[in-house]
Chain A
Amino acid sequence: MNKFSQQPYLLLVLMGLTLTACGGSGDDNTEPNVPTISYPSYTSVIALGGDTTTFDASNSGHGFSTPSLNLTDDELALHLEGDANFEVSFTTAPNSEHPDQDGLGPVFNNADCNSCHQRDGRNSTPFLAADQTRVKLDSAAGIFLRISKAPDQTCTVGTADNQYCAPIKVPDFGDQLFHRGVLKARADWQNNAFVGQADVYLSYERHEVAYDDGIVVSLKKPIFEVENPYDAPDETKQSMNVTSNLLQDDVLMGWRNGMPVFGLGLLEAIPEASILANVDADDSNNDGISGRANWVFDAVKAQQGDDYPVSLGRFGWKANTPSVRVQSLGALRGDIGITNPLFPDESILGTSLHDSYLTRTGFVDTGEDVNGEPEANAEFSDSVVFYAETLAVPARRNVDNTNVREGARLFEQLKCSRCHTPSFVTKTSGDIGGLPMSDSLKSQTIYPFSDMLLHDMGEGLADGRPDFLADGNEWRTRPLWGIGLTQTVNPQAGFLHDGRAATLEEAILWHGGEAQQSTDDFMMLSQDERAQVMAFLMSL
């Protein structure tokens, strides 16, 4: 290995400064006959997260799990507290032996943050044993289903009356399907111990894609089946008379995988105007790529009494949350069932399931602890939010490698960077998540490779489920920083919103809609060139 390919970015910066200082003329180009190959400006950039970038773990499975390098001592302490809390495994309330860790559920998807964001990255893709045609999601699953009722018409302007275009909750269920439960979550718990609102099964539908050179890639798409809903346990979608609210034909469902949680504070610190500058909702430049902003309900603004609690959506697969704070604490309350100061009510409050659970068990799990406080207090919640805001972005690897450099050129040539926007500069001051931002996040030149906007990605990827202003075909551009370390962090991780792509090549081949031309052009490349694109992505 070339030693210098492993050296920190700072070395290159310093070398650049030093060479300049050593008197080298910067404009001494005396060989006009040598053909020049133009590489994009980001080809050799190593510190994708600016000063926050980590180098000591950027080659290994620890690459997503280190604090930003530029935190103060106090900030580092808060980050480390959040780190510990991120791994807390919650138990059923009441748990007299461990009261500070109870409050799980009563229905939920996982018992801790780490299970859906394994080592701060993506979750493992569910696998089927040799004799299985489908697998039931259990405690090993980091994936779940979002659910909602199909709207009568497209919601284009959010108002208080239409809940700002929020997904319409499924009566007696909500907008997220909780497939797990505490022991007695259901009235029929003796036959359905630890089962949540319904059982969810996953299977795969497969097809193949062939390049002109004869190489074939097998693609898989996860299919869901929902059974055993708590409101009608014997019914299935095929039943003659479907009474369950969940199994109605107008209930929309879509998979959601856990996402990496590093670099999120930097993404939130991108000036809103910088993101909106790339919006081209009607494709006025006729390049086949639109780019739309999602405008979403902002629980922080609502709690602060804002008359119009709507903000630019940035996080989630459809950019349906505005901040790390809303995203993290929403997941704490939703995915795990731990209420907190921003979301003090259980997510299933008011449903038959919750009512019957409280009545039947006499358990105190109304979302409040014995002191009438939310299950996670402000200190716990704030530390988890800060942790996710300040996990460092890993440095790139192998930037001097010829294939990596050629791959960068092809990335540009294929127009990938039209949506995977390479770079932004974060704002110099202001708030994130309703609180003053850490100095560590300010004025950083970052390379997330995302425009943070929504794009129609075609029918193949569509879940048909609108989410605020995002329609059923749209997804927010996924940042690519760190993506080359994904399976170093978790070898079972998959790509895209449901983990369907086992490799980055598969992920590219799923790109349709606005990205179809780029995919078509990628398929026209030679095998070596395709490998170069992969080499570039793996260096990120």
Chain B
Amino acid sequence: MRFNYTVISLALVATLSACGGSGSDSSDTETPTVGFSFAATDMITNLTDDVIVAGYADLAAQGDALLLATQTLLTSTSQADLVAAQNAWKAARQPWEQGESHIFGPVDSLSIDPHLDSWPLNTTDLQTQLANSSGFDADTIKGWNDDVQGFHTMEYLLFGDGINSNTKQIADLTTKEREYLIALAEVFRDYAVQLDDAWQVSYNPQDTNALPYAELLKTSGDANNAIYSSELAVIEELINGMIGIVDEVGNGKIADPFGESLATADTSKVESQYSWNSLTDFADNIIGVRNVYQGEFTGSTDKTGLIDFVAAADAELSTRVASEIEDAISKIQAISGTTDMPFRQAILDAEGRVRVQTAVDALSTLQASLESDVLPLLSEWNS
């Protein structure tokens, strides 16, 4: 993560201001206003409850729905059932990807991220297990390596290899694939529930008396809070979380497969390539940034978010960042062009590559604003 040096100049300004003359005589000089005020408690409470916790609760609910949808497939011959399961996978994917803008706390400490979202897969091992095992159960699979479980293994089974299409016929879904899929969905559901519980019940699975992780954010600065020593710490966490995902989408998820040129583009690195859901993933990542910034999900009633913190310092900046977020989302969505081109095809298409570059540029602009203009506000804030 890159950092800027604005804070240094701020320190210098503050210091030079303090050295203006006699310390006992300030009445005849106008003290310049330094910093800005903002009451952050409501914002932190809102972002915690109505964005982060609400998102994980949704993920847990989608986990239940996905499990049911896969269980329906066990003996089904209906193509509609397979499509329903594919859609349930996409529906579960949405809160997960949006939640990547705040990927700290239990999702990391409980190792849920690698369990659910490891990439790349090991399709060789996956095929071997399908050929050699039977009676798949969730507990056994939890002990296996992460590259044969989680979102992308389910995706591979539900959608096929994604090379020429993202459709699969129900008749092509073998009995073992169905059994494996159901067990994977159960594993997924379990982790989603564990994550939800960690935020709402106890952050420590071994200590039911421990606080919900949400409470640790909302009680930041309390003497007995060993996680967040101040409200500033929480806001710093949230801003750096936004920077982290914008960086990852622009400089990792998109840039790695995109390559320096058409000749070095590498479709094997495209995440969610089996379902052709990549662009939705990337857009959801930045929609997650928007959720945190605005303080509410799209279409919900206006609530306090980081935009209000930024506006307290610089109203123009607050709207500029909001529009840069919108721009990044729309530029990612526009990569599909007029032909609904999936990302893995777009990086191999001359015009598609122009659209990809446009999206990368929009993400770079947003990242620069967050790093150079938003993050430094923390040192100006009279918290």
Instruction: Give residues in A with beta carbon < 8 Å to B.
Output: 1, 3, 6-8, 10-11, 14-15, 18-19, 21-22, 54-57, 59-62, 65-67, 69, 76, 84, 89, 91-92, 94-95, 97-98, 101, 111-112, 115, 118-119, 124, 127-129, 136, 138-140, 180, 182-184, 190, 193-194, 397-398, 484, 487-488, 490-493, 503, 538
Contacts and interface: CB of A to CB of B under 8 A. Distances in A.
Contacts of A128: 206
B227 A95 contact: no
Nearest to B118: A89
Q: 5 nearest interchain CB pairs?
A: A59-B233, A492-B109, A11-B11, A127-B206, A60-B237
B27 to A, nearest CB: 19
A1 B236 contact: no
A194 B133 CA distance: 13
B317 interface: no
A135 B200 CA distance: 25
Interface stretch (B63-71, B80-88, B121-129): B121-129
Contacts of B124: 92, 94-95
Contacts of B252: 84
27 contacts: A3-B382, A6-B383, A7-B379, A10-B7, A11-B14, A14-B11, A14-B15, A15-B15, A18-B19, A56-B3, A59-B230, A59-B233, A60-B233, A62-B236, A62-B240, A62-B241, A89-B118, A98-B268, A119-B104, A127-B204, A139-B111, A139-B114, A139-B146, A182-B125, A184-B128, A492-B109, A493-B109
Contacts of A487: 226-227
B375 interface: yes
Contacts of B1: 57, 62, 65-67
A8 B7 contact: yes
A306 B129 CA distance: 48
A492 B114 CA distance: 16
User: Chain B interface mostly helix, strand, loop or mixed?
Assistant: helix
Interface of B: 1-3, 5, 7-8, 11-12, 14-16, 18-19, 35, 104-106, 108-111, 114-115, 118-125, 128-129, 132-133, 142-148, 203-206, 213, 216, 221, 226-234, 236-237, 240-241, 244, 252, 268-269, 375-376, 378-379, 381-383
A59 B104 CA distance: 13
Which has the most chain A C-beta neighbours within 10 Å: B120, B142, B231?
Answer: B120
Contacts of A62: 1, 236-237, 240-241, 244
Contacts of B146: 89, 111, 139
B111 A8 contact: no
A398 B229 contact: yes
Given A1-B221, A190-B132, A503-B226, A89 B147 contact: yes
B11 A61 contact: no
Contacts of A54: 3
A3 B19 contact: no
A59 B12 CA distance: 22
Nearest to B14: A11
Contact of B125 (A65, A92, A119): A92
A32 B19 CA distance: 28
Contact of B230 (A6, A76, A136, A190): A6
Nearest to B378: A56
Given A18-B16, A538-B226, 20 more contacts: A6-B232, A22-B19, A56-B236, A59-B233, A61-B237, A62-B241, A65-B1, A92-B124, A95-B124, A112-B114, A118-B109, A124-B111, A180-B145, A182-B125, A184-B128, A193-B133, A397-B230, A491-B203, A491-B204, A491-B213
A1 B230 contact: yes
A60 B8 contact: no
Contact of A55 (B7, B205, B240): B7
A67 B247 CA distance: 15
B8 A97 contact: no
Contact of B204 (A98, A101, A138, A492): A492
Contacts of A184: 128
Contact of B15 (A18, A118, A190): A18
Given A60-B237, A89-B114, A138 B104 contact: no
B128 A183 contact: yes
Nearest to B382: A3
Which has the most chain A C-beta neighbours within 10 Å: B2, B15, B16?
Answer: B15
A97 B147 CA distance: 13
User: Chain A interface mostly helix, strand, loop or mixed?
Assistant: loop
Given A97-B120, A139-B115, A180-B145, A193 B129 contact: yes
Contacts of B144: 139, 193-194
A490 B236 contact: no
B120 A21 contact: no
A60 B378 CA distance: 12
A111 B109 contact: no
Which has the most chain B C-beta neighbours within 10 Å: A7, A60, A67, A538?
Answer: A60
Nearest to B252: A84
A266 to B, nearest CB: 18
A112 B204 CA distance: 24
Contacts of A94: 124
Nearest to A91: B122
Contact of B268 (A67, A97, A124, A127): A97
A117 to B, nearest CB: 12
Contacts of A6: 230, 232, 378-379, 383
A22 B205 CA distance: 56
B143 A491 contact: no
B1 to A, nearest CB: 5
A56 B204 contact: no
A55 B379 CA distance: 9
B108 A118 contact: yes
Contacts of B221: 1
A488 B111 contact: no
Contacts of B143: 136, 138-139, 194
Contact of A95 (B7, B122, B244): B122
B11 A60 contact: no
Which has the most chain B C-beta neighbours within 10 Å: A3, A66, A115, A493?
Answer: A3
B129 A183 contact: yes
A491 B111 contact: no
Contacts of B227: 487-488, 491
B206 to A, nearest CB: 4
Contacts of A101: 120
Contact of A60 (B3, B129, B240): B240
Contacts of B232: 1, 6, 59
Contacts of A183: 122, 125, 128-129, 145, 148
Nearest to B142: A138
Contacts of B145: 111, 139, 180, 182-183, 194
Contacts of B121: 91
A193 B134 CA distance: 13
Contacts of B230: 1, 6, 59, 397
Contacts of B111: 115, 124, 139-140
A97 B123 contact: yes
A538 B229 contact: yes
B121 to A, nearest CB: 8
Contacts of B14: 7, 11
Given A14-B12, A56-B3, A19 B233 contact: no
Contacts of A136: 143
Contacts of A7: 11, 14, 379
Nearest to A2: B383
B120 A61 contact: no
A55 B146 CA distance: 35
Nearest to B226: A487
B236 A21 contact: no
